[in-house]
Homo-oligomer: A and B are copies of this chain.
Amino acid sequence: MTNPATIAGLTSEATTEPATLGEAAYQRLRADIVAGGLEAGKPLRLEALRQRYGLSFSPLREALMRLQSERLVVSAALRGFAVAPLSREEIKDATETRILIECEALRRSMRDGDDDWEAGIVATFHALGRQVDRMAATAGKADVAEVLVMEERHHQFHRALISACGSPRLLELADQLSIETQRYRLPSLTGRNIGAPPRDVSAEHREIMDAALRRSGDATTLLAEHYRRTSASIQAAMA
């Protein structure tokens, strides 16, 4: 059965209580890795995790195996686990793979999407805009909780675009790649982001939305450029 948290969203705020400790460990570990609470490259000692989360080895190991499949954790046999390192190569590969997956899913959604699909795009675009406005009002303070809410809205918008593709695999892959790339985005969003190019992300979103609703082939091009711009700025910051 697919994990509802994977589909539902990114953040640790579980709308539903996890049924097992293994599931809880998975969600908390993933949230901490993505948000940087567990530093990239750092070894994940089981004894330390046991104390940190108040769990036993079994559910922790289960969660770590899952996270390893999602490339958030690496491991060597008998040598334990570590938070997957960040690298320019990885963000590049993740971004290009994401573009491949999401552009195909967007093409199919534009072909098959109905009124509900369109409504979902408009609704999530609006919600994202509201959140961006709210954060602009309290400018200066890069509150990490607020940033996480915005990232969740951002994810919901992009997911709405491809939600009518009809392929569970493409949607799951898109979710996984979204999580992976979020690891790279978050530091630059919470940090004070000096030297970032002046970029109107909201305008990019609006263009993508408009093209998608027009069922125009431009939508995939705009989507790819949107992701490549973000990736390039991250890579530049990783000098």
Contact = CB atoms under 8 A, between A and B. Distances in A.
Interface of A: 1, 19-20, 22-23, 58, 61-62, 65-66, 68-70, 74-78, 93-94, 96-97, 100-101, 104, 167-170, 173
A94 B76 CA distance: 29
A20 B94 contact: no
Contact of A20 (B23, B77, B170): B77
A167 B100 CA distance: 12
- What DSSP secondary structure best describes chain A's contact surface? helix
16 contacts: A1-B74, A1-B75, A19-B77, A20-B78, A58-B58, A58-B61, A61-B62, A62-B62, A62-B65, A65-B65, A69-B70, A93-B168, A94-B169, A97-B173, A100-B101, A100-B104
Identical chains bound together, number: 2
B104 A167 contact: no
A169 B62 contact: no
A110 to B, nearest CB: 16
A84 to B, nearest CB: 10
Contacts of A93: 167-169
Contacts of A66: 65-66, 68-69
A100 B169 CA distance: 12
A97 B169 CA distance: 7
Contacts of A104: 100
A62 B104 CA distance: 33
